[in-house]
A and B are shown apart, each in its own frame.
Chain A
Amino acid sequence: METFITNLLNGLQYSSYLVIVSVGLTIIFGVMKILNVAHGSFYAWGAYTSAFFIGKFSDMGWPDAFGFVIIFASAIAVGLVLGFIIERGLLRFMYGRDEVVIILATFGLFLVLEDVILLVFGVDPYFAYQPMAYLESVEVGGITRDVYGLSLILVSTLVAAGCWYGLNRTKWGNILKAVIFDREMSVSMGINVPMVYTVTFIGGTALGALGGAYIAPTVSVAPGLGGEVIVLSFAVVVIGGMGSIPGALIGSILIGLLRAISVHEFPQIELFVIFAVMAVVLVFRPEGLFAPAKVRKI
Chain B
Amino acid sequence: MLTKKLIRGVGLAAVSAIAISGGAAQAQDATKQDTIKIAVAAFLSGGAAGPFGVPGRNGAELVIDAINAGKLPAPYAAKGFGGATAEGIFFDESGGATKQVAEYRNLVQKRGVNVVIGYVGSGNCIALSPVADELKTLTIFSTCGTPRIFEESPRSYVFRSMSHATADNIAAAHYVADKFPNLKGYTGINQNYSWGQDSWRDFDLTLQTRNSSAKASEKLQFPKIFAGQYGTEISALSLDKSELVHSSFWGGDLEAFVIQGGARGLFKKKTAVLTVGGAASYRLGKRMPDNIILGDRGPYGILVRDRKTALNTWFINAFKDRYGTYPSGPAYHYAQSILATKVAYDKAAASAGMAPTQEQVVAALKGATFESFSTTVDMALGNGHQAITEAAYGITRYNNEAGEPALTDVKFFPAKCVMPPDGVTSVDWIKGGMKGATCS
Residues on A lying within 8 angstroms of B by beta carbon are 2-3, 6, 9-11, 13-14, 17, 114-115, 118, 123-125, 127, 129, 132-133, 137, 142-146, 148-149, 215, 218-220, 222-225, 227-228, 259-260, 263-265, 267-268, 270-271
B264 touches A222 (CB 8 A): no
The residue in chain B whose Cβ has the minimal distance to the Cβ of A228 is: B226
B contact face: mostly helix, strand, loop, or mixed: helix
Q: How far is the CB of B256 from chain A (nearest CB, A)?
A: 4
State whether A260 and B232 are in contact (beta carbons under 8 Å apart), knowing that A123-B49, A218-B260 are contacts in the complex: yes
Tell which of A3, A9, A267 touches B222, judged by Cβ atoms closer than 8 Å: A267
Binds A, one of B39-47, B127-135, B165-173: B39-47
CB atoms of A227 and B232 under 8 A apart: no
How far apart are the CA atoms of A60 and B7 in the complex, in Å? 74
Q: Which of A114, A146, A225, A227 touches B263 (beta carbons < 8 Å)?
A: A146
CB distance from B361 to the nearest CB of A (A): 32
Q: Is the CB of A218 within 8 A of B263?
A: yes
**Is the CB–CB distance between B228 and A228 below 8 Å?**
yes
User: What is the distance, in angstroms, from A133's C-beta to the closest C-beta of chain B?
Assistant: 8
**Across the interface, do B263 and A14 meet the contact criterion of CB distance under 8 Å?**
no
CB neighbours of B53 from chain A (8 A): 123
| Known A10-B231, A143-B235, A271-B192; contact A218-B45, beta-carbon cutoff 8 A | no
Given contacts A222-B252, A267-B219, contact A123 B265 (CB under 8 A): no
Residues of the B chain whose Cβ atoms lie less than 8 Å from the Cβ of A218: 229, 256, 259-260, 263
Question: B439: CB under 8 A from chain A?
Answer: no
Which one, B222, B224, B239, contacts A143 given CB within 8 A?
B239
User: In the assembly, what is the distance between CA of A142 and CA of B222, in Å?
Assistant: 23
| Interface residues of B, Cβ cutoff 8 Å to A | 44-47, 49-51, 53-54, 192, 219-224, 226-229, 231-233, 235-236, 238-239, 251-252, 255-256, 259-260, 263-266, 269, 283-284, 287
A124 to chain B: closest residue by CB:
B50
Measured CB to CB, the closest approach of chain A to B238, in angstroms, equals 4
Task: Given the known inter-chain contacts A137-B264, A264-B219, please indicate yes or no for A259 contacting B232, CB distance below 8 A.
Answer: yes
B19 to chain A, nearest CB (A): 45
Cβ–Cβ < 8 Å partners of A2 in chain B: 239
On whether the beta carbons of B232 and A10 are closer than 8 Å, the reply is: yes
Q: Is the CB of B239 within 8 A of A222?
A: no
* Contact of B229 with A127 in the complex, beta carbons under 8 Å: no
Beyond the given A223-B45, A223-B49, A267-B222, please list 5 additional residue pairs across the A-B interface where CB-CB is below 8 A.
Answer: A3-B239, A13-B231, A114-B45, A144-B238, A227-B226
Decide yes or no: A222 and B50 within 8 Å by CB, A2-B239, A227-B226 being known contacts: yes
A264–B239 CA distance with the chains assembled, in angstroms: 9
Q: B118 CB to closest chain A CB, in angstroms?
A: 16
**CA of A121 to CA of B238, assembled, Å:** 35
Contact of A219 among B219, B228, B238, B265 (CB under 8 A): B228
Q: Is the CB of B219 within 8 A of A125?
A: no
